[in-house]
Structure 1
Amino acid sequence: MKRILYIIGFLLPLTVFSQQEKVLTISDTTVADKWMILGEDWRYQKGDNIVWANPEFDDSTWNEFSSTNLNLLDGKNVIADRGEIVWLRKRIMADQSFNDALVLNIFQEGASEIYLDGKLIHQLGNVSSNKDEVIYHNPFSQVLHLPLEIGKEQILAVRFVNAQYKYPIYNHNGLIRIFISSLRNANSTDVVKNKRVAYFQQFVNSYYISLGLAILMFIIFLSFFIFFPKEKINGYFAASLLFLILFTLGVLSFHQNTTGTYFWLTFYYDTCILISSLILLFCFYKILEKPIDLVYKAISFLCFLTIGCYFLFNPDALGPIWSIFYYVGIIRLSLKSWKKNKIASFLFLSSSCINLVFWTLMICWYMGLVDQRIDKFIPFSFMLVPVVLAIYLGYAFGKRSQDLRLNLNRVQELSKEKESILSQQKNTLEQLVKERTSELNQSLDELKTTQSQLIQSEKMASLGELTAGIAHEIQNPLNFVNNFSEVSNELVDEMNEELDKGDLEEVKAISLDIKHNLEKINHHGKRADNIVKGMLQHSRSSSGTKEPTDINALADEYLRLAYHGLRAKDKSFNAELITNFDESIGKVNIVPQDMGRVILNLITNAFYAVNEKKQRDVSFKPIVTVSTKKSDEHITISVSDNGNGIPEKVKEKIFQPFFTTKPTGQGTGLGLSMSYDIITKGHSGELLVTTQQGEGTTFKIIFPLI
């Protein structure tokens, strides 16, 4: 029994010593010039009880652990699941050597409340067992005051609830890390000592520098594209810079965000940088004059596949992996274009190689294979290739400007050299122009003379057509005049004999016969006179004066004259003449000489057409029809024949000057051309033709009734 008491007496002090609480002592040497993570000797308990913040509360039954992440035990076993509240407690004391204020920096994915000796000193978000009331807050960019009393052991308690992310942005269930340092160190700009604040500020400042540079380049190259829209490469580059600006703004928003919306911000800015890089790769293809190939399409496919995988894997880890393929693609493109464009290929190749090495090291850093943090160079890595591209575009623009300036100088020099030559050539050309003008004037005068002669020839030709008809027409009245003159002469002799006999009655009867004969002579003389006047009117130039004219009589007269003229040339020719005159027309205002020429020309052509057909077919019966018709506003004169008609290919040319289908020597080709001008210009009318092959042709003269 005595031995048992000795053993108990020996073990009791050991037990009490083993249960003695471990206290973190903060001295000037531990936190004066660095940030120290509070990861050792914590106790934790799931659940929620505000009493657990009280320093008198006995937490000896709680579980103990040490970890940089206070929600993960040794990085493996989760202390609190998503949505569960956990309390963390730790004993801490500032010793007498510490002569500065203490500050905290907390990085968390969730919400927490920080207590010191039961007093709430910081509320970071809203902690609640109801997940709808939880407000996540990450104060990683803030410095939080820790009011420790010198030389006094105090209880630091943390009430924490996990963030509940829908997508696996960091592939864990939430964390909380607490760092402690002196206020002097927190205000230091030394990024080695003050890594939690100064390093972060330097990182953010680097992104601000990148943002300013990207905005400046965007404004410059967008302006180039606006003023020189044909230089589309400036527009493509400006689009790439726009997405780069959006990416930089997203990163800055992420590092200033404290609400816990990390996934969507990360998704946004990682998507922007991928699209910006893809457009930038398209610019390389355009600059190096390479067609879009399978490699570009594969990289584009991987780009959008990577964006889709952001919902499954960490975007910040997938981006660097895609970058490896991206920069390998640029290196390949640069090597293929080396001979064609060495300057561009060198710039793109060197910048891509630097970035390829950098992102390879970044992947190694993510995997823990590299200890040195190089993520502070990420902003400059993103800007390296755009800056190099901007430098090349500026170089290319300057080179084009220089080439244009040199070409302009050459043009000016050539202009001066050739100015005298051009002056001499000008004088020579002026002399040649004078000579050619003189020749053209002479040719024009000859042409006018020839044209007048041809017109007169056409008139004489139509007059020739009339000659035989006129001779036939005038012969009849002349015969009557001769016959009645002879009879009258005999009657005068008889009358003298009767006078001698004194038979006055017989004398009166004879005188009446003589008078009757004289009237006949007068009638047929006037008829001959009218025929002669008509011939003279046709042969002389038109005065252009319109006068009331009987259009029916004019058409009938020229129909008969033309028919008898053709009969005089060819006794075997016969044709049926049909007239259909509208007697209500009366007299209309026309130029009779001109209208007579037109009617005569159309009737002569009709007789020619039926005569040609008659010679080929002896059984054919020629018919020529002349008709007139009056409407409310127009007079229509129609000349129809039942000849062979006009071929379609010839129909389009019949009104052209000098075009004729008659054999050489039988037509001038001016008849229909003159007729068309007389009707359209002289009488404001129309000359229309309708024809059917093998059945005949109809010409219609239509002119307004005035």
Structure 2
Amino acid sequence: MKKSILLVLLLLPLVLLSQSKELLPLQEMENDWYLLENGWHYQQGDNKDWANPAFYDSTWPQLSSGYLKAPDSSTNNSEENIIWFRSKIVIDSTFNQQFVMRIYQTGASEVYLNGNLIHSLGKVSSNLDSVVYYNPSREILSFPLGTQTEQVLAIRYVDSPDRFPLYSSSSGMIIRLSTLHHATADPPLLQYKIRYYIVFGVAIFMLILFLAYFFFFPTEKINLYFAIWSLFFILFIIAVLILLNTHERPFLAEFSIGFFLTFQAFLILFCIYKILKQKFGLLFWSVVVLAAFLIGLLFFFDYLFITQIIGTIVLLEILRVSIKSLKTNKRAALIFLIFCSINIAFWAAIILDQLSIIEVPSLWLYQPFAFLLMPLSLAIYLGYTFGNRSKSLITKLKEVEQLSEENHHILFTQNETLERQVKERTSALNTSLENLKSTQSQLIQAEKMASLGELTAGIAHEIQNPLNFINNFSEVSNELLAEMNEELDKGNIEEAMIISKDIKQNLEKVAHHGKRADGIVKGMLQHSRSSSGIKEPTDINKLADEYLRLAYHGLRAKDKSFNATLETDFDENLGLVNVIPQDLGRVILNLITNAFYAVNEKAKADIEGYQPTVTVSSKRTPLLGGAGGGSQVLKIAISDNGNGIPKDIVDKIFQPFFTTKPTGQGTGLGLSLSYDIIKAHGGELKVETEEGEGTTFRIVIPVT
């Protein structure tokens, strides 16, 4: 009996000691975060001596909970806004790994270990107006636990006096411990934020996409609804990012998350109702009223709890409507049914993981992408719809082609019948028929010459400019001759002499451009033989300026109502550049002519305040990455402030025979030949354009 009593007396202190200590399971801490929820004592009030490890706290009330909360206080003493928590921690002296901690809190705290302040998270004060709240969330905080037999963790804490939500289940403080090795391997909050930023970018893309679809197809209002949903989805993501990037607990951000998530969920349901052609009956409006009611509950309960309820209700309704529509709109309903089922499964796993019913490691990291599941179903449906339209258009196109072939066959049959009747009725037409056959042979021969089409069309295109000058100066000379005759009739010899000088100058210009046309023909023949010609030192500024003035005056001679501002920005230190002057001149002239055409077309629209402007600039700069000081590039830019080039054709402008000019005003070879000329110089011809603003062509040629 005495031995039993002695054994009880020996074991009793150990039992009492174990009740006041937190025995850390070392094996679990090596692989996970350990929640400190046992062995706590707490006391309201404020006394810094309570951080002393020697302080006797056994008389304090005990607390065993994952959330360290301040109990309700019936006193108005301001010091009782502060509450102290104390726990004794014992670790194995052989455990030599470094400890860290994570703290989630809705207030401010001071963390003491063995009487030493190791962390000050915010500002603790008995005056609530002076309290600074700080939630470190998933930050890794140092925790210098030693290998002593017993260590005291003391927390001086004041909770947030937030007015809303009234009944928060997540208020208070949570403390988790782990090893530094596991903490650094744990997925950081940054990965979670990055995923939300990715979702944010996708949401902006969808907003632009749906707005574009609505702009091009305004009769399809569903695209506008998609766009409005995308806007509220973006606002929801912004509110989430604000909450993730703050260390406080802003109720406005939490309320915004709940509000925008509810509204965009309602819009998805609305769109699916529209797509599946379901009537907005009592059940739909019941969901709307319930959602509005739940939004009001955000002032009373945590937003996470409310949004989970709203999301579950909307997903279940989408599931119901999709199943109901399988017979009437099978493909669309099947798309929504599949994605809705995946969504429900994911959120069910999230909730079960939160309730610790099942364990899915790092599932929360993929939560941002889960919000994209239903939008993705809408995008897939949209793609499916456009695919069906494309198939329908292809079918109609085939029908048109078939009708065309049938009409062609009918026409061919009628021609044969007519030809037979002509032969039968008169022999006088035999001669005409032979002539027709001869003409057909000539056409066949012409088709054989089509291989020379690029050369022939190029000559016709390039020679048009000097011919225009010759025609214009000839017309002006005729007018001057008429004026000179009038002056001679009046006896004004001096005036007649002045006019004759102008006529002489015009004739010189006619001769000059005639020779120039001859040079163009020769240059085009050289081009057709794939010859790059002979390079020679050339004054690029003079060449560009000459073509700028000639092109402008040539257009003015044809249309005297046209006016434009000519701007030049030539590099005075450009010097002579070794190029093929005729070829490069034709490129510059072609680009300048196109620029004048662009500004002239925009000027015809009578836009108030619009001043047609064409700018030509040149520059000589070092070649990036070039070896030595002799590697340089020649840059020539021709800009206009015309209407710009539409995006859907900007990739086609350098193709042969492609032109946007009316029939008879362009062959479509100018830019193609210009591109080949610059390429033959070892350079590049680039285009920069913006619809409604203008176009800039840039010539970049390496020189030495």
Q: TM (normalized to structure 1)? A: 0.51
Give the deviation of 1:15 after TM superposition: 8.1
SS at match of 2:94: coil
- Return closer, same or farther for 1:344/1:231 CA change in 2, 3 Å cut-off: same
Matches of 1:173 and 1:124 in 2, distance apart?
Answer: 18
Matches of 1:337 and 1:20 in 2, distance apart?
Answer: 66
Give the deviation of 1:38 after TM superposition: 2.0
Offset from partner CA, 1:171-202 (integer Å, 9 cap, x none): 348321111111111101xxxxx4xxx27566
Match of 1:128 in 2: 125
- Return closer, same or farther for 1:291/1:422 CA change in 2, 3 Å cut-off: farther
- Return closer, same or farther for 1:329/1:55 CA change in 2, 3 Å cut-off: closer
Q: Is the 8 A contact 1:86 1:161 kept in 2?
A: yes
- Tell me which of 303, 314, 322 is aligned to 2:302: 314
Match of 1:340 in 2: 328
Q: Which amino acid in the other structure matches residue 265 of structure 2?
A: S
Matches of 1:26 and 1:10 in 2, distance apart?
Answer: 26
Give the deviation of 1:390 after TM superposition: 0.4
SS at match of 2:96: coil
- Structure 1: tracts of 5 or more residues without a match: 1-7, 189-193, 427-706
Offset from partner CA, 1:443-480 (integer Å, 9 cap, x none): xxxxxxxxxxxxxxxxxxxxxxxxxxxxxxxxxxxxxx
Q: Is the 8 A contact 1:243 1:276 kept in 2?
A: yes
Give the deviation of 1:305 after TM superposition: 1.9
Match of 1:247 in 2: 236
Alignment of 1:655-674 (within 5 A): none
Matches of 1:292 and 1:11 in 2, distance apart?
Answer: 75
Matches of 1:13 and 1:365 in 2, distance apart?
Answer: 43
- Tell me which of 260, 263, 273 is aligned to 1:272: 260
Offset from partner CA, 1:90-145 (integer Å, 9 cap, x none): 33355442333211101112110011232221111111111111122211220000
- Structure 2: tracts of 5 or more residues without a match: 416-704
Larger Rg: 1
Identical-pair percentage = 38
Q: Which amino acid in the other structure matches residue 111 of structure 2?
A: I
- Return closer, same or farther for 1:392/1:116 CA change in 2, 3 Å cut-off: same
Q: Is the 8 A contact 1:27 1:98 kept in 2?
A: no
Matches of 2:357 and 2:8 in 1, distance apart?
Answer: 48
Matches of 1:79 and 1:371 in 2, distance apart?
Answer: 37
Alignment of 1:13-24 (within 5 A): 22-24=20-22
Offset from partner CA, 1:370-420 (integer Å, 9 cap, x none): 666865554343221110110110111122123223323322442353358
| 1:295 is the counterpart of 2:293 | no
- Tell me which of 115, 119, 136 is aligned to 1:118: 115
- Return closer, same or farther for 1:322/1:409 CA change in 2, 3 Å cut-off: same
Q: Is the 8 A contact 1:103 1:186 kept in 2?
A: yes
Offset from partner CA, 1:418-449 (integer Å, 9 cap, x none): 358689999xxxxxxxxxxxxxxxxxxxxxxx
| 1:353 is the counterpart of 2:341 | yes
- Return closer, same or farther for 1:184/1:269 CA change in 2, 3 Å cut-off: same
Q: Which amino acid in the other structure matches residue 373 of structure 2?
A: L
Q: Is the 8 A contact 2:35 2:175 kept in 1?
A: yes
Match of 2:450 in 1: none
| 1:396 is the counterpart of 2:393 | no
Match of 1:33 in 2: 31
Alignment of 1:521-670 (within 5 A): none
- Return closer, same or farther for 1:349/1:56 CA change in 2, 3 Å cut-off: closer
Q: Which amino acid in the other structure matches residue 89 of structure 1?
A: R
Give the deviation of 1:238 after TM superposition: 2.0
Structure 1, 221-230 or 138-147: larger mean CA deviation: 221-230
Give the deviation of 1:353 after TM superposition: 3.4
Matches of 1:12 and 1:126 in 2, distance apart?
Answer: 46
Q: Which amino acid in the other structure matches residue 140 of structure 2?
A: V
Matches of 2:279 and 2:180 in 1, distance apart?
Answer: 59
Matches of 1:368 and 1:38 in 2, distance apart?
Answer: 17
Q: Which amino acid in the other structure matches residue 120 of structure 1?
A: L
Match of 1:139 in 2: 136
Matches of 1:346 and 1:220 in 2, distance apart?
Answer: 24
SS at match of 1:132: helix
Give the deviation of 1:203 after TM superposition: 4.7
Matches of 1:298 and 1:80 in 2, distance apart?
Answer: 43
| 1:223 is the counterpart of 2:212 | yes
Alignment of 1:255-266 (within 5 A): 255-261=244-250, 263-266=251-254
- Return closer, same or farther for 1:149/1:80 CA change in 2, 3 Å cut-off: farther
Q: Is the 8 A contact 1:90 1:157 kept in 2?
A: yes
Q: Is the 8 A contact 1:321 1:363 kept in 2?
A: no
- Return closer, same or farther for 1:407/1:109 CA change in 2, 3 Å cut-off: same
Give the deviation of 1:152 after TM superposition: 6.3
Q: Which amino acid in the other structure matches residue 66 of structure 1?
A: S
SS at match of 2:371: helix
Match of 1:573 in 2: none
Q: Is the 8 A contact 2:257 2:303 kept in 1?
A: no
Match of 2:153 in 1: 156
- Return closer, same or farther for 1:325/1:12 CA change in 2, 3 Å cut-off: closer
Match of 2:55 in 1: 57
Q: CA RMSD in A?
A: 3.8
| 1:283 is the counterpart of 2:271 | yes
- Return closer, same or farther for 1:19/1:29 CA change in 2, 3 Å cut-off: closer
Query: Number of matched residues?
Result: 408
Matches of 1:58 and 1:239 in 2, distance apart?
Answer: 62
Q: Is the 8 A contact 2:35 2:176 kept in 1?
A: yes
Matches of 2:107 and 2:410 in 1, distance apart?
Answer: 88
Q: Is the 8 A contact 1:104 1:181 kept in 2?
A: yes
Structure 1, 277-286 or 365-374: larger mean CA deviation: 365-374
Give the deviation of 1:276 after TM superposition: 1.0
Matches of 1:296 and 1:425 in 2, distance apart?
Answer: 65
SS at match of 1:187: helix
Q: Is the 8 A contact 1:141 1:255 kept in 2?
A: no
Match of 1:182 in 2: 179
- Tell me which of 43, 50, 56 is aligned to 2:41: 43
Match of 1:326 in 2: 314
Give the deviation of 1:243 after TM superposition: 1.6
| 1:106 is the counterpart of 2:103 | yes
Structure 1, 286-295 or 44-53: larger mean CA deviation: 286-295
Give the deviation of 1:227 after TM superposition: 3.3
Matches of 2:112 and 2:252 in 1, distance apart?
Answer: 32
Matches of 2:58 and 2:65 in 1, distance apart?
Answer: 19
Q: Which amino acid in the other structure matches residue 81 of structure 2?
A: E
Q: Which amino acid in the other structure matches residue 293 of structure 1?
A: G
Give the deviation of 1:245 after TM superposition: 2.4
Matches of 2:201 and 2:92 in 1, distance apart?
Answer: 47
Matches of 1:20 and 1:367 in 2, distance apart?
Answer: 32
- Tell me which of 369, 372, 380 is aligned to 1:383: 372
Matches of 2:249 and 2:129 in 1, distance apart?
Answer: 14
Matches of 1:91 and 1:316 in 2, distance apart?
Answer: 34
Offset from partner CA, 1:146-177 (integer Å, 9 cap, x none): 12333364332110111223223653483211
